[in-house]
Amino acid sequence: MFFPFMPAHALEVKDVRFGIHEDKTRIVLDMDQAADFQSFVLSDPYRLVVDLPRFTWSVKNFTANDEAGILAVRQGALKPGVSRIVFDLSRSMSIRSAFVLPAKGQKGDRLVIDIARIGVDEFKQFKGQIHGNLDINNPPNNAGQSYSNKSKSKANAAVKNDYKPLVVIDPGHGGVDPGAVGKEAGLLEKDVVLKLALSLRDALVKSGRYRVKMTRSTDVFISLRGRVKFARDAGADLFVSIHADSIGNKKVRGASVYTLSEKASDKQTAALAARENKADLIAGIDLSVEDQDVVNILVDLARRDTMNQSKFFAGKLATVLPKEGVRTLEHTHRYAGFAVLKAPDIPSVLVEAGFMSNKNEARMLNTETYRNKVVSGLKRGINAYFDQVQKNQRE
């Protein structure tokens, strides 16, 4: 639907009201214009999330309403063009229906969301179900376009089996940044990981189950933040960064998998992440400028769910890699503050396929036979991860 007389200003959320019914709570957001939205529920703790095109929040009084099951509300920018509202719920609730009511008579445009109490066991089946059709990866850029008539909801697409998850593969380093230099003559990390990434892409595409994008498919430099941004802009369902670094102890060998943590799981890992995070300095990029990307407190909410999914995926990889004949480091799944893993809303892992500092491992990574084993392991882990994700969506 197009509103030709709509002034081209940002959406305004004017008020939030609750209506308590016997079988549901009705949440009404009074807005100055109709707009596309998406809404879903999360657990641990229970929350209702409402995403809208970037809005100004003019809600004067908000009072928690225990009877309605609503403890608090927060809102703010989520990403360019998109704002998020989060309602903290006091119990497990699901969305019964959500729709926009265009202005009529005295009443202005409203977004109506009906939520109802459900059992904790029942909750699973509603998790991940999206109501509404706002495409947060492609938000409208002015008010006149903020409400469309798309009838098919994204939820249906996501739940249906024909949805192909988007995997973003991120071969580390590139261009002016060679990464580690192998003990094997002339072998560079940037080349090894690109080969691994390209074969992984081919294997995933061939399976017919995924869409795949690569942060780089040639020998170019990309900043760490640029890699994260690429994955977010693409709307990735999973982010896999591939490396083969060097570490101090030349005897250490074996593949390992890392997920994000402020605190590294051990000294060796901390050193690895510290060195990895310097990639941008190598190319002369001033991180202090780039770092000013808006990091909103709301992002923490998404991060908690993402973190759990990342850990789950890393665990799967740690289990399946050896089954494909890939030698792994003990405590294969480790934690560290790799900058490239910081997308708050995309499950992300960094895979060290092996260490270039170990002569034997560098030699093996230089062979197609061994790289194929690594690729099979990664593919198997990705399959296992999405098997679980899709199972959760069906349950």
CB atoms within 10 A of CB 43: 14
User: Which residue's CB atom is positioned nearest to Zn ion?
Assistant: 243
Number of residues that bind Zn ion (CB under 5 A): 4
Q: Pull the structure tokens for residue 367.
A: 């062979």
* By the rule CB under 5 A, 216 interacts with Zn ion: no
The span from the CA of 246 to the CA of 252, in Å, is: 9
The span from the CA of 56 to the CA of 72, in Å, is: 18
Alpha helices per DSSP H over 143-286: 154-159, 189-207, 224-234, 267-276, 279-282
Instruction: Return the exposure string of 192-216: e unless at least 16 CB atoms fall within 10 Å of the residue's CB, then b.
Output: bbbbbbbbbbebbeeeeebbbbbbb
Stretch that binds Zn ion, among 70-78, 245-253, 264-272, 359-367 (CB under 5 A): 245-253
User: Which CB sits closer to Zn ion, 24 or 342?
Assistant: 342
The span from the CA of 102 to the CA of 149, in Å, is: 12
According to CB under 5 A, which one of 32, 245, 305, 361 is a site residue for Zn ion?
Answer: 245
Residue 294 Cβ, how far from Zn ion at the closest point, in Å? 27
Stretch that binds Zn ion, among 19-27, 80-88, 115-123, 238-246 (CB under 5 A): 238-246
User: Which CB sits closer to Zn ion, 95 or 193?
Assistant: 193
The span from the CA of 7 to the CA of 370, in Å, is: 60
User: Which CB sits closer to Zn ion, 298 or 351?
Assistant: 351
User: Which CB sits closer to Zn ion, 36 or 276?
Assistant: 276
User: Which CB sits closer to Zn ion, 155 or 242?
Assistant: 242
CB atoms within 10 A of CB 141: 13
> Which x/- pattern, by CB under 5 A, does the window 144-173 give for Zn ion?
----------------------------x-
* By the rule CB under 5 A, 179 interacts with Zn ion: yes
Residue 107 Cβ, how far from Zn ion at the closest point, in Å? 57
Residues that bind Zn ion (CB under 5 A): 172, 179, 243, 245
